[in-house]
Structure 1
Amino acid sequence: MNSIKEASAVLRHRQFRSFWTGRVISSLGSAAAPIAVAFAALEAGGGVEWLGFILALNIAPQVLLLLVGGVLGDRVRRDRVMVAANAASGVVQVAMAILILTGEAELWMLATSVFLLGVASAFFQPASQGSIVQLVPPEQRVAANAVLRLPLNVAKVLGPALGGLVVALVGPGWALAFNACTFLLSVFFLASIRLPQPLKSKASGLSAFRTGWNEFSARRWYVIMVAQSTVTVLMWLVGFQLCGPVVSHSSLGGAFAWGLISGGFAFGLVGGSLVAVAVRPRRVGITVSLCLAAQALPLVALAFVAPIWVIVGAAVLAGIALDISIVSWSAFFQEQIPEGLQSRLSSISTFGQLLPVPIGYVLFGLLSGYVSNTVMVSLMSGILVVAALLPLLLPSIRQLRLGQMVDESMVGGGDPLLPDLLMRGAKGEGST
């Protein structure tokens, strides 16, 4: 009952409601789009190599431009950045949907469209991450993150199932047309937000980035956790987003089966939001690490082509765990990082997470011709578990708690080797 009251209190803020509505609407279409893109590429004659290349092109501009987007999000009104990014995404999806529906689409056109969507995302995400602290009071941030995550995850449940069904019945073009409409509708709601203009600074954009980088590197706990997610995100995205559709296409019945699996994962995300609101885990380091390790469950099920209900069940459990970690980490991040740095540090962490992903998509796409899916996805799941649990060897990570400010002088003492290994992972060296 207390959780319901907190959620209601958050939604009484008019601007947060507009932000919430715009995010939810665009998320519904975006949840259906990856299935449409994957099967549009496969139907256009592209194999695993092409699919890996297309996925890499979506991530590459985010890697290249996220740091620019982070600086922009701390220097320009964040609502304007979000509106421009979603408007551009809507226009791109309209064009791609028309090309597919008219039979004119080619693989290079699909690749170009996902690249442009990645550019828009590079500016949208840091601005969005930094907006919550401007929309609700500090004591409501945990509830605000959970209230936002819950409908986003409901959209992720409905989106893949709807997308898989639409692709199976009428083709991927209509799924992308739906995504275009949701982007453009979200612009209407986001345009009603009026966030404060960031304080003007005489410092250059490069100087602002350097300040953000210094603040990032000074927080050793943050560097370690970003290094952890660098490896786990790579293994998850390549194993689930690249290999998952291929396994579904060849062994599980096609787009509808993949829609069920993706929908099951998103259904788990909804459950994770509910658990996070009700339980509110305090031990952030332990919670995040254990929950990330659970992402290996659906990868193992896919590797051995388990029955569809087993894969869906594993995806549900992984979704529950992941969203608990996201809600807990988001609240901890907003608590520990000053408001004026949040877009920059968010973009730096996302940059670290995404840096090896385009290479991973292309590399594993090429390796698929020489290594079986069972071997490749099993290897990914093993690396994911090790990377997720490795930081728990550090007392400083095990002691991270929500509601307790980190004493930077005490972080990482007596752990000289492991942080170096984790930093190598953050740079895409060694373990990746």
Structure 2
Amino acid sequence: MSPPPDLLSPVRAPRRPAWAGRNYTLLTGAAVITNLGSHGALIAAAFAVLESGGSGGDVGLVAAARTLPLVLFLLIGGALADRLPRHRVMVAANALNCVSQGAFALLVLAGDPQLWQMMLLTALCGTGTAFFNPAAEGMLLSSVSGEHANRAFALFRMAMNGAGIGGAALGGAMIAAIGPGWVLAVDALAFALAGALRAFLDVGHVADRAPGGGLLADLREGWVEVRTRPWLWSIVLQFSVVVAVVGAAEAVYGPLVARDELGGPAPWGLALALFGVGTIAGAVLMMVWKPRRLLLVGTLCVFPLALPSAGLAVPLPVWALCVVMFVSGAAIEVFGVNWMTTMHQEIPEEKFSRVSAYDWFGSVSMLPLATALAGPAESAFGRAPSLWGCAALVVVGTAAVLFVPDVRNMTRKPPPAKSPQLPTTTESPSPAAV
């Protein structure tokens, strides 16, 4: 009696989903590593300034130094990422981030860092991010198929934001225990490890760019893609306001409220971690929910981003602030997945990075100004009125976008029908093939 066929077949290890290919897996793993380091480093940079004797205005200047290079170099980074192999742009950017954050860590650990030194090193890190973001988003968008885009983007963002939870909570605890310098050193190491993973990305599936105009011609092509789509440029304008005021509230006012009202960096790190927990909840929801009106649902979920600024203005106790951060994190994740899905289905692959660069450029264009003015605004109007102003701008800017017809009417496209595979020869298949 022969054994059952199942006993003769080799044991197979569990396989990842067919849509989670090599590039997608590497991108997800690298994003987890960098988010573990970066979320703690953002808090560490703010407290490094405060511990060196800096004021709220100095914290805003350092935050502005990080975002100003984004405004200056994002468009160039997007054009290069559509012209050069995207993974090489990403690795070079990670190398610059590693060096700049490592130098920042040494400066803080050595003691008595000067404001101009911290601004310079933070600006170098922002420059790396300016070249990295368009290449990374273009690489991610090209790594999944349209049929599985919603699930793939939700899972990627869930993994990335899950790492942010640990990074923020661990970063806050490490700052309280051993100081911000070591958190910055961990961030430098994370960039080195992530860059090594991204060096193995495969760009063979990306068609070679046809020779044409130079950098300006590439930027013009990307601009045409943006200005001919009202849904795209209107939401980019919306987020130029939303990102600016939310960034100012979290980068400048959040650490100050934590220091004066919440008991130090650890509670603020916990609140940021709960924001990350909310993003995971939103991503889990988007793994199974595919709303038909992508941008309408996404835009409605931007309104809760006004809640953290309002919570800091009160200020709420730590547990209530954590609830507010959780809700806003879940809501913005619903927007994020719908936004990426819309970009994936509407933008041609060869223009992903350039359009992404315009998206990033518009979104962060006002952030340096907002973070630089956060300190003077507090001095002129008071901290609570400034935070209430941030919340009001989020609500007004988001409500305005709903008047754009394309935002209300954009719908999810069904996946393309698969044609049956017909035999290419008239020969009968062999028994081995069967």
Q: Does 1:345 align with 2:359?
A: no
Q: Distance in 2 between matches of 1:381 and 1:136?
A: 36
**Structure 2 partner of 1:70:** 78
Q: Contact 1:134–1:195 (CA<8 Å) still a contact in 2?
A: no
Q: CA deviation at 1:104?
A: 4.8
CA contact (8 A) 2:230 2:406 kept: no
Answer whether contact 1:150 1:270 (CA < 8 A) is retained: yes
User: Residues 50, 129 of structure 1: CA spacing in aligned structure 2 closer, same or farther, 3 A cutoff?
Assistant: same
Instruction: Determine helix, strand or coil for the equivalent of 2:302.
Output: helix
Tell me which residue corresponds to 2:180: 172
Bigger shift: 394-403 or 304-313?
394-403
Aligned to 1:92: 100
- 1:273: Cα distance to partner? 0.7
Equivalent position to 1:358, from 368, 371, 374: 368
Q: State the number of aligned residues.
A: 400
Q: How does 1:3-402 map to 2 (within 5 A)?
A: 8-11=17-20, 13-196=21-204, 198-402=208-412
Separation of aligned partners in 2, 1:29 and 1:79: 20
**Is the Cα contact below 8 Å between 1:18 and 1:190 reproduced in 2?**
yes
1:49 Cα deviation (Å)?
0.8
Structure 2's unaligned 5+ residue stretches are 1-13, 416-434
Distance 1:209 1:394, change over 3 A: closer
Q: After alignment, is 199-208 or 308-317 more displaced?
A: 199-208
Structure 1 162/220 Cα, relative in aligned 2: closer, same or farther at 3 Å? Answer: same
Query: Whole-Å Cα distance in 1 between the matches of residues 213 and 67 of structure 2?
Result: 29
* 2-structure distance, mates of 1:130, 1:314: 32
Q: What residue is the counterpart of 2:7 in the other structure?
A: none
In 2, Cα distance between the equivalents of 1:332 and 1:102? 47
Equivalents in 2 of 1:7, 1:274: separation in Å? 18
| TM-score of the superposed pair, with normalisation by structure 1 | 0.89
Q: Deviations over 1:9-41 (max 9, x none)?
A: 333x12221121112111110111111000000
Distance in 1, Cα, partners of 2:145 & 2:15: 12
Instruction: Deviation per CA, 1:216-247: give whole Å up to 9, x if none.
Output: 11112211111111111112111222211111
Residues 236/7 of structure 1: CA separation in 2 closer, same or farther (3 Å cut): farther
Secondary structure, in 3 states, of the residue corresponding to 1:403?
coil
Structure 1 residues 374-400: Cα deviation after superposition (integer angstroms, max 9, x where no partner): 111111101111111222233332111
Q: Which protein shows a greater Rg?
A: 2
Aligned-partner residue type, residue 218 of structure 2:
A
Q: Distance in 1 between matches of 2:133 and 2:404?
A: 30
What amino acid maps onto 2:202 in structure 1?
A: R
Q: Distance in 2 between matches of 1:329 and 1:7?
A: 25
RMSD: 1.7
For residues 206 and 394 of structure 1, the distance between their equivalents in structure 2, rounded to whole angstroms, comes to 30
| Unmatched 5+ stretches in structure 1 | 406-432
Aligned to 1:421: none
Question: Whole-Å Cα distance in 1 between the matches of residues 121 and 291 of structure 2?
Answer: 40
Asked whether the equivalents of residues 7 and 143 of structure 1 are also in contact (C-alpha less than 8 Å), the reply is: no
Aligned-pair CA distance for 1:132: 2.0
Q: Are the counterparts in 1 of residues 101 and 187 from structure 2 also a CA contact under 8 Å? A: yes
CA deviation profile, 1:322-364 (whole Å, cap 9, x unmatched): 0110011101111100011111111112111111111111122
| CA–CA distance in structure 2, aligned partners of residues 233 and 254 of structure 1 | 25
* CA offset digits 1:65-124 (Å, max 9, x no partner): 000001001100000011111111111111111221121522222111110010000000
Query: Which residue type is aligned with residue 195 of structure 1?
Result: V
Kindly provide the amino acid, as one letter, of the partner of residue 41 in structure 2. A
Q: What SS class does the counterpart of residue 401 from structure 1 fall into?
A: coil
Comparing 193-202 and 87-96, the one that deviates more: 193-202
CA distance in 1, matches of 2:245, 2:293: 25
Are the equivalent residues in 2 in contact too, given 1:132–1:144 (CA < 8 A)?
Answer: no
Identity of aligned residues (%): 33
In 2, the alpha carbon distance for the partners of 1:271 and 1:9 equals 24
How much has 1:211 moved relative to structure 2? 1.3
Q: How big is the shift at 1:257? A: 1.2
- Any conservation in 2 of the 1:28–1:158 contact (CA below 8 Å)? yes
